[in-house]
Amino acid sequence: MTHLEDLTPDLLLADWHSPAGDVHGPKRVTLTGGSDPSEFRFPAGVGEPPLDNILHYGALVLLHGLPKTGKTSFTLAWLAEALADTTVVWVTEEPLTLWQERAGRWPALTSDRFRLALADPTIPWSEWLAFLRAELGPDGGILVLDSLRSTILGDCGPGAENDATTVTRRLTDVARLIRCPLSVGIVLHHDRRDGHYAGSTAIYGVPDTLIALAKGRGRQRRLTVASRLPGLPGQVMVELDEAFDLHVVTGDRPAPSEGEPATPARSLPRTQQRLLDALSNAPDGLPAAALVAASGVGRTAAYEALHKLVASGRVTKTGTMYAASPSVRESASASVQADESVQADESACPSVHLSASP
């Protein structure tokens, strides 16, 4: 297996813009149609906080969620404003006909700054690395790999995403690539349909930032962010309107609309409940390591459970600190008060001794 550090400078700087058929390797696809790219109106909400504080140059981001949650559409709308002065290199698993339709409605995709390539599992990973390095150029840009299975692991065969060694090496290759030249790397990944993580835990351990995308009401989507980088928002609600513009709805989980029934209470899985119990006893919150120790939950299980608790709004994350949400703390406090009240009532009542009937 060839990795980035093994490639020669000549291969890294190879010209991949030769006419089709001259070279067997990745090639950029040119989209046509639509109006003049200079007439493109950028989405209104992309530059609004807190979305403007999630992507950082040199950082690798994993955007994951259930199939059909709109990961590609969200990412396109999110990065639209960047096309004004930044190169976006996108490797896609989707058919060219779909992208051609998008270009007809969204002329910015026909700009030279948007560089599209179709995933091809017959092309070795070493050639993809060279191609991506050449397309990003000396100034770098934003690299999107959609999706992990068909791009980073495309030539590895079925089941490669379950191999921690392969996943770690390939993601590390991408992490090195985006640090020279300095770029942003975004990898899209499909979770399992039952809501659990898909593939090796290395998929979620190597990236610097994890973004879980989930459907909200209508066109709304909820982003739950977990990162090694400080100062990133924990949760963001966004909405894609009919014009494909991205708007920030709120930084917090929205309250139910008037007349909308509240979500019925359900018992939590045992792992999540143990983490919540530990946080309920720590009003100021706990760092991840202390929370794992206090709950007695294993690190891998705790990490996945915490991510789901943050996504559900039961737990908030600030930097490296986790805390129970105000509603959870209030519920726990009310439960304690109710227990104390019952105990007080019982102590005030005279004891009643039942004797067997004669």
- Count Cα neighbours of 164 within 13 Å in the Cβ-side half-sphere: 5
pLDDT, tens digit, for every residue of 194-224?
A: 878 889 999 999 999 999 999 988 889 999 9
State how far the Cα of 49 lies from the Cα of 338, in Å rounded to an integer: 41
State how far the Cα of 138 lies from the Cα of 180, in Å rounded to an integer: 8
pLDDT, tens digit, for every residue of 225-254?
A: 999 888 888 889 998 876 667 888 864 443
In the chain, what is the straight-line distance between the N-terminal and C-terminal CA atoms, in Å?
88
Contact 189, 198 (CB under 8 A): yes
Domains of the chain: 13-250 (3.40.50.300), 270-329 (1.10.10.10)
Q: Give the tokens for residue 220.
A: 């709304």
pLDDT value for 29: 75
pLDDT value for 308: 76
pLDDT value for 289: 81
Count Cβ neighbours within 10 Å for each residue of 291-314 and write b for 16 or more, e otherwise.
Answer: bbebbebeeebbbbbbbbbbbbbb
State how far the Cα of 173 lies from the Cα of 176, in Å rounded to an integer: 5
| Block residue for tokens 């140059």 | 57
Mapped onto helix, strand or coil, the DSSP state of residue 215 is: strand
Higher per-residue confidence, 283 vs 62 = 62
pLDDT value for 11: 30
pLDDT, tens digit, for every residue of 31-89?
A: 665 433 333 222 233 345 777 788 888 999 999 999 999 999 899 888 877 777 789 99
Angle at 68 between CA 197 and CA 255, to 5 degrees: 85
Confidence band for 12, pLDDT divided at 50, 70 and 90: very low
Contact 148, 120 (CB under 8 A): no
Contact 147, 94 (CB under 8 A): no
pLDDT value for 24: 62
Mean predicted confidence (pLDDT) in 268-295:
82
> At residue 21, does pLDDT exceed 60?
no
Nearest to 253 by CA among 314, 197, 301: 314
> At residue 10, does pLDDT exceed 50?
no
State how far the Cα of 316 lies from the Cα of 313, in Å rounded to an integer: 7
Q: How many CB atoms lie within 10 A of CB 235?
A: 20
State how far the Cα of 73 lies from the Cα of 65, in Å rounded to an integer: 13
> At residue 105, does pLDDT exceed 50?
yes
Mean predicted confidence (pLDDT) in 268-294:
82
Q: Give the tokens for residue 239.
A: 């909405």
In eight-state DSSP terms, residue 182 is B
Angle at 137 between CA 143 and CA 188, to 5 degrees: 5
pLDDT value for 330: 65
Mean pLDDT, the chain, as a whole number?
75
pLDDT value for 177: 95
Mapped onto helix, strand or coil, the DSSP state of residue 315 is: strand
pLDDT value for 62: 96
Confidence band for 270, pLDDT divided at 50, 70 and 90: confident
State how far the Cα of 270 lies from the Cα of 251, in Å rounded to an integer: 28
| Block residue for tokens 């004669």 | 358
State how far the Cα of 176 lies from the Cα of 129, in Å rounded to an integer: 10
Confidence band for 189, pLDDT divided at 50, 70 and 90: very high
Where are any strands of DSSP class E within 256-297?
286-287
pLDDT, tens digit, for every residue of 302-356?
A: 777 787 788 777 888 887 788 888 777 666 554 444 344 434 444 443 333 323 3
Contact 213, 175 (CB under 8 A): no
Q: Estimate to the nearest angstrom the gap between the alpha carbon of 161 and the chain centroid.
A: 17
pLDDT, tens digit, for every residue of 113-170?
A: 899 999 999 999 999 999 999 999 999 999 999 999 999 999 998 899 999 999 999 9
Q: Indicate whether this model's pTM tops 0.75.
A: no
State how far the Cα of 61 lies from the Cα of 211, in Å rounded to an integer: 7
In eight-state DSSP terms, residue 34 is S
pLDDT value for 320: 77
